[in-house]
Amino acid sequence: MKTGARAARGIAVVLAGIACASGRAASADAPLAGSNRYALDVIESRASVEPGVVHLGERAVYRGAVVVRAGADVRWLAPEANDALTWGERRARRSSQFGGYASHSRIADTVSVEIPVQAFQLGRIVVPGLGVAIAGANGARTANLPAAPITVVPAIAADDTAADFRAVHGPLAAPWWGRVPWTWVIAALLTIAAIVAFMRRRRRMPAPAAAPAALDPLAEALAAVAALRALRLPEHGRFAEHAFRLGQILRRYLEAATHATRPGDTTPELVRHLGEAGLGVDDLGRLAGLLRVWDRVKFAREPFTLDEAVRAEQAVEAFLRRPQPAAERRVA
């Protein structure tokens, strides 16, 4: 008899353990709202808005939480866009539950979130459940917390006969400084100050300086050749720089004297423009020869001697001092 009683008690213990295990499994397999699959890593989910009844524009707090198996990763998603709701800054936190055979064994984690929310539409509003992404041992999925209703009422109800308004008072006279047209006063003062400043400036304004006399292109070019000769660049072996400066002096003179050439003209373009302007054939040939030699010295680094550099200076000076043709006299 004792043996039968012990066996019956053992069977009852086994059945109770099976029932508890199946109860825990059913709770763990409960799906989140909005999910079409069972979230095996989710034990529980909940959401609420407090207070449940608020005035128009009054602040409430949306609270949501999920209980997941230990170690599952939980990430809250942004709230859905809604014209009737305005969401504030989100605050999330996580806590752990311990139990089992060892008190330090973690069995579940509770991940909660709080978001301030304001409603700007009267009546009953269903706040959609906040989206949550969960990744655990059974995979990753996205779902939503349950929806939470909230009722929005006007600041003062239309049928509230007990509303206390301030009594109506008659208008009070404004003080004297409130009756003065300060805008016109300030505008008049600014106008007077501008007139006084203008008169003082006109009295102190110096006489206009005489415009500087226009420089003669020929005199300017001859002065530039003299200054270049004083630098003695060929004596120091700086033939490329010497050729560049000589060509620059000649080009500037032709631009100012004929107005036929333009800055940046290549040698063929410069020769063509001068020919179209009516420059003599002999002068045009000498210029073309000088420019081509200088191009080879500057760009191709063709060897150049001191005597050649001196002769180039003399050729430029002779060209400048020659009798001016009609094309140059007409512009000058």
> Strands of 148-153's sheet, edge to edge?
53-55, 148-153, 123-127
Q: Which residue matches tokens 């059945």?
A: 15
pLDDT of res. 3: 43
Residue 83 has what pLDDT?
82
Q: What does the domain layout of the chain look like in residue ranges?
A: 26-153, 217-331
Angstrom CA distances, 272 to 73, 218, 252, 265, stand at 81, 22, 16, 10
Q: Rounded mean pLDDT of 156-182?
A: 67
pLDDT recorded at residue 98: 66
Predicted local distance difference test score (pLDDT) of residue 195: 93
Give 166's pLDDT tier (boundaries 50, 70, 90).
low
State the CATH class of domain 26-153: mainly beta
- pLDDT-derived band at 17 (thresholds 50, 70, 90) equals very low
How many CA atoms lie within 13 Å of 178's alpha carbon, on the beta-carbon side? 4
**β-strands 42-50, 59-69 pairing:** antiparallel
CA 265 – CA 295 distance, rounded (Å): 13
Percentage, residues of the chain above pLDDT 70: 73
Residues 194-209 have pLDDT tens digits of: 999 988 888 776 666 5
pLDDT of residue 332: 44
CA distances in angstroms from 187 to 184, 192, 195, 197, 317, listed in the order given: 5, 9, 12, 15, 67
Of 317 and 146, which is predicted with more confidence? Answer: 146
CA dist., res. 109 & res. 198, Å (int): 80
pTM: 0.37
239 confidence band (pLDDT: 50, 70, 90): confident
pLDDT tens across 249-301, in order? Answer: 888 888 887 777 777 777 787 777 777 777 777 777 777 777 777 777 777 77
Residue 86 has pLDDT above 70, yes or no: yes
